Amino acid sequence: MTGRRELGQFIELPYRLHSTSLFWCPPLRIERRMFLSRRQNAFFKHGDAQLFCAWREGRVVGRVSAQIDHAYNDYHSSRTGMFGFLELEDDPEVLPALLEVAAGWLRERGMTEMLGPMDFGMNDENGVLIEGYDREPMVKQPWHPPYYMARCEEAGLEKAMDLWMWELDISDRAQIVPIIFRLAEETGPRHGITIRKMSQRSLRRDMDRFAEVYNAAWANNWGFSPYSKEDLDYYTQELRLVFDAPWFMVAEKDDETVAVAITVPDINQVLRRMKGRILPFGWWHYLRRKRIVNRCRVGFLGVKPEYQHTGVAAALYVEHFEQAARTPVKWGEMGWILETNRAMNRGMEAMNGRKVKTYRVYRRELA
């Protein structure tokens, strides 16, 4: 599928499938075209992909991508392919056909297993929603009706990993285990660590600091792949559209970055009003976004391993509570967090978090 018309049909399918849903959030169509562009998306600097549509009686009934992230395979010394952008009608014949064409494309290129769905990698939207159908997705979260999980199981896909989202009330300090605040108070006096906020001017430089922490803290995690310079350039441009300085935090000791937290006000609350288009009135809702948004997504909070004993994570959490007291944003979701990440999941419990969504990543052998 290469033509502009075919790409438009690929993009339009979820709008038709989910237009009556009370929960699905329509992305901007122009953003989807940019994301899928080989010229604009940094994924194509280290990866390749092909898009497919399934047709029946003259209409698109399903879609899928097949992709290879060479940076991921180089890091893991693997031959792993991925599938993504999964959308389909509730028809038991559609998903097997989509998976087979994706698997065939990957086999031809020497891949021995297939993971997904992910759009295009683990740091984009990924997984099939298997818990939390009655909640609106936040920014960079997919939403699927329950039959998606059923079709994946019927198609013989195996579970690879579950990803958890935790709801946090960041305005109610009384619900937090007291040790969080004691640890936060010691971070500066005892360990010499300070927290500052990013700015639009410093954002690209601070994204290098983010990558430094991310590559150290996540290096041994399932699904990890390091950010390249091109990835960071692209990610910075995405973040500029939702940037809110008080929620973008860097923790430092002397001249060294030791931790980073990036929390994004949930722009999906605005996108729902924009209905997938900037014109004629979508731009007006975007300009009013600070009056609309009252929730956030803690997308990244990481600490270098050698500083994880200092309480700096607690200090970043407490800074979120302080910020909530000054803004309309009072609650949010943290994650995703791997189901196997016991330390982070225990931390969510200590802050009175509640697991509210689960996304499942599947795998299939190709050999």
- Amino acid 343: pLDDT: 87
Q: Looking at residue 138, what is its pLDDT?
A: 94
pLDDT of residue 253: 95
The pLDDT value given to residue 281 = 55
Among 176, 188, 179, smallest CA distance to 310 is for: 188
The closest of 274, 225, 257 to 78, measured between CA atoms, is: 225
Residue ranges of the chain with per-residue pLDDT less than 70: 1-2, 276, 278-288
| Predicted confidence (pLDDT) per residue in 92-109, tens digit | 999 999 999 999 999 999
User: Domains in the chain, ordered, with CATH?
Assistant: 4-165 (3.40.630.30), 167-357 (3.40.630.30)
Predicted pLDDT at 175: 73
